[in-house]
Structure 1
């Protein structure tokens, strides 16, 4: 939106500036007058006024420069500010002192003239300002309309994009669910296969254990049989050795008995000597 300052004629601007400056100077001097007489309160001035009756709001507007007072209000203000006493009831007129009233009337006339000269420029300026405001308002309304249409298009596009996004998300979700279902089936199949492998492994282990037990039993029985045979062999060898030793001992005993007998016989015979091997020598 383009913002154009209202076009003001230089003469109009000069007339308005001259009035504003004159009103400012007028207000400044009016405040000086008020201060010069001790700056009496607004209530005191209101109570001392008669024709016209002053008001606090009117005094404030005159001293602040918001508005140029009427000449009657000005002269009454000049009168009561220089003598803040209520006029006597029988006084026909309440004019201010001439040495104050005359110069203030002249000042007011000068400002009033400038005010009249600035009235038409002020009207033209207000018209220009109003035209600018109307143009700005129309441009703002146009921009608001365009912005509303653009917002509608943006919202509609966003709605379409959201629908497309939802469709894409739905398709992606369905694809993921299908993949999950495949994974679930694969997991069930794997669990089934693992259970089958476990059962086969348990069966194989049971068979191996049975075979191992049978083999161990057979080996144990063979070892026991071999041990029994060995024990029998050892017993037989022991018995044979014992028999041989017994036979030998018996033989040795018989030989010894025979030798003893022979010795005994020889002792009863002529004496001689016994030699080793149980022989007797004469």
Structure 2
């Protein structure tokens, strides 16, 4: 019997990724300047893919989203409408890196019909830039963080934010495809499953878990998505700052390998952590535990074959 054809590598060549665990305060300009400094540090450390945290340009919280929101459409926006867009583009270009720009609050104002009052919506949006500083893709957070844990935390992003409606897969031509989602999206394995089956070598989640959910689920979810999909997973958190606001990030940015081993994990404060990604690790995991050949789509459906709203760049 003829052997199965060797699959094409999902990661074309080894690459170093960096997660920038960043503390962000109330001064947007200072936040952008600090992010630029840390992206330079990541690039100097050999990273070719750099990830920033969720809401890296502002404090995280429903009260903050409208105040810090920027208009991104039509793209490219003016520097006045979106200083963060232009700052991220410059960071990517100046350092020659792919930059997964965490996320920023986005404002979109539309007229539903002629003569009607403008309708304003807010999104939690990630911007991804090429080493030339061009925008490759955006991802609006699909699943909004609405939780109520008695004795723990209550939070309702949907009081202010609207959800995105697309799965985001980005092509980094030298390396391959990367799936991008934000924070609470990591709890929904369908997004990860579809992205992985579309050929992603890594799933990247800027996120801001808190002191209730962080110690319980942060590492667990990163390892679970890697285990499910036999690919790399990166989670990038803000640094913990107990003096800023009422929502305090867990920290502990991490990168997990395709066998669900944590390669590197930050502590609580500002830190840049690096991981080297290698196709051999992906193929070894998939050959040793051959899930790709063992799924029973006669018993359950293949969610990656359903009609999906996808942004692919």
TM superposition score normalised by structure 1: 0.19
Higher RCO, 1 vs 2 (CA within 8 Å, ≥6 residues apart):
2
Bigger share in strand: 2
Bigger share in helix: 1
TM superposition score normalised by structure 2: 0.17
